[in-house]
């Protein structure tokens, strides 16, 4: 069994964490891969998701 400190310090996230899902879309600013935030859903109608570029910091929103 792990200690509390071991549990808190273990790396449970990947390169960008499990809250980011890579998508097959390029950033409109720098042409690198975009990542969809899986922990954020905007309460608009219809609901939208947040997309981020890890290279340049671009952020956008879409219904997909």
Q: Determine whether 12 is exposed, middle or buried from the number of CB atoms within 10 Å of its CB (0-12, 13-18, 19+).
A: exposed
Q: Which domain holds residue 45?
A: 15-62
Reading the block at residue 49, the tokens are 């998701």
Q: Does 55 fall in a domain?
A: yes
Q: Does 4 fall in a domain?
A: no
**What pLDDT, on the 0 to 100 scale, is given for residue 5?**
85
* Domain tally, the chain: 1
Q: Does 1 fall in a domain?
A: no
Q: Does 20 fall in a domain?
A: yes
Q: Report which of residues 9 and 39 the model is more confident about.
A: 39
- 3 state SS of 35: strand
- Regarding pTM above 0.85, the answer is no
């Amino acid at each position: 069994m792990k200690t509390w400190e071991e549990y808190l310090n273990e790396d449970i996230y990947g390169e960008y964490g499990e809250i980011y899902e890579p998508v097959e879309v390029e950033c409109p600013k720098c042409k690198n891969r975009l990542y969809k935030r899986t922990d954020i859903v905007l309460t608009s109608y219809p609901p939208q998701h947040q997309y981020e570029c890890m290279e340049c910091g671009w952020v956008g929103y879409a219904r997909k």
